[in-house]
Amino acid sequence: MAFGKMFTVGSEAVEFVQHDPETCTLRVGFRASPKQFVGAVYDYLDVPHTVVGKMFGSPSVGAFINKVIKKTYTVRKVADAVMKPEGATKS
């Protein structure tokens, strides 16, 4: 997979999102507690670029993922919660 740029979003639930336009895979990293961790990472399959655009244009990325992405697209867990790398920006 060739994911594009990683976008951090102003969401209480979502740490980052990435989209692979070739496979239409949306990768979502959720926030974890305590904040020195990055939460679990999931791939949502066959998410078209148009839907990703709507997600970024929505008032809340986290709410859009819960209401649209999670209910519509197949999901695959990629990673469990992990410690943020040394020097990573704290959210």
Measured distance CA(38)–CA(20) in Å, rounded: 21
Cβ contact 45:75 at 8 Å? yes
**CA distances (Å), 7 to each of 17, 64, 73, 86, in order?**
5, 15, 20, 19
How would you write the pLDDT of the chain (91 residues) with one tens digit per residue? 667 777 788 788 898 999 999 999 999 998 877 666 678 899 999 999 999 999 999 999 999 999 999 999 999 999 887 776 654 444 4
User: Which amino acid is residue 25, in one-letter code?
Assistant: T
**Which two three-digit tokens encode residue 24?**
């239409």
Let me know: does 6 contact 18? Beta carbons within 8 Å: yes
